[in-house]
């Protein structure tokens, strides 16, 4: 049985896991780099261990140091959060070999769904709709041959990762070879895996993802979907649930397909299956993320559930009490990612936070790992906080979020609250009619 959880992460997600553990009566261990010694997750955990310098490769990505911290503190479980080592099957296996409970999917399932090419094969096997695409490309000549078969434009993608790294849109034959070689280099640098594949590129897609919750006893529920179309360079900026673009018929059809695919591949824990929706409203499988997502709070708000607590209980062998028929979205939720960055140039803005006042009031939730007086380091992602607004209707949720952003005070560093206000005020967003190209069109970039 899990008694003490080491959180192999930092920032708001580490604090989010600590809170879930405390409510379940579990002890917690924070790990931190030297530059994060005064971070909030370190303060709130029961114990904390420094695992190295600021460079993530020498701390948050350094498996021996993390395992040693668990052994030193007597932790008997590891929660990886998101990012860093969260989708690293080798890390999961190492934890299990060291008699630590891995709070996540089994390593084999992580490989089956985490590798983008293998995941496409799985998705096709279970009848999930697919964009025309390929397996791993062996050479520029192979890429050219496949691109001609599928037709331009195409998009190159890294097989072993996501987040925009290794992604290249190619519109003609002349630019394919250079894009192929660059995509392989980026994939290798980002994921230690140079494999890339290609798919037909949809010019103005919507990005819709479904939340998976599955236990070790074969029970699988799909906790609705999220609309994540507002992105910059494949990085999500604002998310909402449920999607204003999806019909109830399409939702129910996808739930049935996903339940079968998850159950028959032996997957358990949390997971998110991501789809593109084309201009005709058709969904196409894109990838699966084998971890908790940054944007999980919007699902929690509309479904009335604690996904992180469920993840921990599932790892402990518990059978889910949730039934698919009882899961009904109540109201609407929107999440704005508040980053320490210049809203005009998107350049990171590290430094000391001189004043910090998060918003509050009815229907507002703030997930954050910062406080007034804390210094934002330049070494990590610029996410400071997630502001989540929940209301009975989408229109009310937009108004509530607008009010919350007006209340948000963070001095000493630049933050992107004004960008979010522009998004909320845009007529296209208010109508719920946006694509992944919306932000670049809004900003004229």
- Confidence tier at 115 by pLDDT (50, 70, 90): confident
Residue 422 has pLDDT above 70, yes or no: yes
Q: Where in the chain is the domain with CATH 3.40.50.20?
A: 4-103
Q: What is the pTM of this model?
A: 0.91
pLDDT value at residue 190:
83
**pLDDT confidence of 322, banded at 50, 70, 90?**
very high
Quick: pLDDT tens for 366-388: 999 999 999 999 999 999 999 99
Which residues of the chain form CATH 3.30.1490.20? 132-200
Nearest to 415 by CA among 353, 341, 365, 318: 341
CATH code, 206-443: 3.30.470.20
Residue 342 contacts residue 413 (beta carbons within 8 Å)? no
Q: How many helices (H) and strands (E) does the chain have?
A: 15, 20
Read off the pLDDT of each residue in 87-111 and give the average, rounded to a whole number.
97
Say what the pLDDT of residue 195 is: 94
Among 226, 291, 365, 400, the one annotated catalytic: 291
Query: In whole angstroms, what is the distance from residue 347 CA to residue 325 CA?
Result: 45
List, for residues 212-250, the tens digit of each pLDDT value.
Answer: 999 999 999 999 999 999 999 889 999 999 999 999 999
Annotated catalytic, 422?
no
pLDDT tens readout for residues 10-52: 999 999 999 999 999 999 999 999 999 999 999 999 999 999 9
Q: What is the Cα–Cα distance from 294 to 388, expressed in whole angstroms?
A: 12
pLDDT (0 to 100) of residue 39: 98
Question: What is the DSSP secondary structure assignment for residue 350, as one 8-state letter?
Answer: -
Q: Does 445 have pLDDT greater than 80?
A: no
What confidence score (pLDDT) does residue 26 get? 98
Mean pLDDT, residues 90-106 taken together: 98
On whether the CB atoms of residues 151 and 145 are closer than 8 A, the answer is: no
Q: What is the pLDDT of residue 312?
A: 98
Q: In angstroms, rounded to a whole number, what is the distance separating the alpha carbons of residues 70 and 61?
A: 15
CA distances from 436 to 23, 64, 236, 271, 342 (A): 37, 39, 9, 22, 21
Which tens digits make up the pLDDT trace of 122-159?
A: 999 999 999 899 999 999 999 999 999 999 999 999 98
Per-residue pLDDT at 162: 67
Q: How far apart are CA 179 and CA 191, in angstroms?
A: 18
Q: CA 346, CA 176: separation in Å to the nearest integer?
A: 28
Mean pLDDT across the stretch 151-173? 88
Domain with CATH 3.30.470.20 in the chain: 206-443
Give 285-315 pLDDT, tens digit per residue.
Answer: 999 999 999 999 999 999 999 999 999 999 9
Residue with the two structure tokens 């409203």: 281
Residue with the bigger pLDDT between 116 and 86: it is 86
Between residues 345 and 70, the one the model is more confident about: 70
- The C-alpha angle 383, 384, 386, rounded to 5 degrees, equals 85
**DSSP one-letter code for 174:** G
- Under CATH, what is the fold of the domain 132-200? Dna Ligase; domain 1 (3.30.1490)
Of 3.40.50.460, 3.40.640.10, 3.40.50.20, 3.90.1150.10, which CATH number belongs to 4-103? 3.40.50.20
The answer to whether 226 touches 259, Cβ cutoff 8 Å, is no
Tens digits of per-residue pLDDT, 217-227?
999 999 999 99
Query: Residue 163: what pLDDT?
Result: 64
Dump pLDDT digits (tens) for 268-293: 999 999 999 998 899 999 999 999 99
Give pLDDT, residue 400. 98
Token pair 């599932």 is at which residue?
A: 314
DSSP code for 202? P
């Amino acid at each position: 049985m899990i008694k003490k959880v080491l959180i192999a992460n930092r920032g708001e997600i580490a604090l989010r896991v600590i809170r879930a553990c405390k409510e379940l009566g579990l002890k917690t261990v924070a790990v931190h780099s030297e530059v994060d010694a005064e971070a909030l997750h370190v303060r709130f955990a029961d114990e904390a261990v420094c695992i190295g310098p600021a460079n993530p490769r020498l701390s948050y990505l350094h498996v021996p140091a993390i395992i040693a911290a668990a052994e030193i503190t007597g932790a008997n479980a590891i929660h990886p959060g998101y990012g860093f080592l969260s989708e690293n099957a080798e890390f999961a296996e190492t934890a299990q070999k060291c008699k630590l409970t891995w709070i996540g999917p089994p390593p084999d399932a992580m490989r089956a769904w985490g590798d983008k090419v293998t995941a496409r094969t799985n998705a096709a096997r279970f009848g999930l709709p697919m964009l025309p695409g390929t397996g791993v490309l062996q050479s520029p000549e192979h890429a050219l041959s496949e691109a001609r078969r599928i037709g331009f434009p195409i998009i190159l993608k890294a097989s072993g990762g996501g987040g925009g790294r290794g992604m290249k849109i190619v519109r003609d034959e002349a630019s394919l070879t250079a894009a192929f070689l660059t995509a392989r280099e980026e994939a290798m640098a980002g994921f230690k895996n140079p494999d890339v594949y290609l798919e037909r590129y949809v010019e103005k897609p919507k990005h819709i993802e479904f939340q998976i919750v599955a236990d070790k006893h074969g029970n699988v529920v799909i906790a609705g979907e999220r609309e994540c179309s507002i992105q910059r360079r494949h990085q999500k900026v604002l998310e909402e649930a449920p999607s204003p673009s999806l019909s109830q018929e399409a939702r129910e059809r996808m739930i049935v397909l996903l339940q079968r695919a998850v159950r028959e591949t032996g997957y358990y824990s949390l997971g998110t299956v991501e789809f593109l929706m084309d201009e005709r409203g058709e969904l196409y499988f894109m990838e699966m993320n084998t971890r908790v997502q940054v944007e999980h709070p919007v699902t929690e708000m509309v479904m009335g559930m604690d996904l992180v607590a469920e993840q921990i209980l599932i790892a402990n062998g518990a059978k889910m009490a949730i039934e698919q028929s009882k899961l009904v979205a109540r109201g609407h939720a929107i999440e704005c990612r508040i980053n320490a960055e210049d809203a005009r140039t998107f350049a990171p803005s590290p430094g000391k936070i001189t004043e910090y006042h998060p918003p509050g009031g009815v229907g507002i939730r703030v997930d954050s790992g910062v406080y007034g007086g804390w210094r934002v380091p330049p070494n990590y992602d610029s996410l400071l906080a997630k502001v989540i607004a929940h209301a009975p209707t989408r229109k009310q949720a937009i108004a509530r979020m607008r009010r919350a952003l007006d209340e948000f005070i963070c001095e000493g560093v630049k933050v992107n609250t004004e960008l979010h206000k522009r998004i909320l005020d845009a007529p296209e967003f208010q109508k719920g009619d946006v694509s992944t190209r919306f932000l670049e069109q809004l900003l004229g970039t």
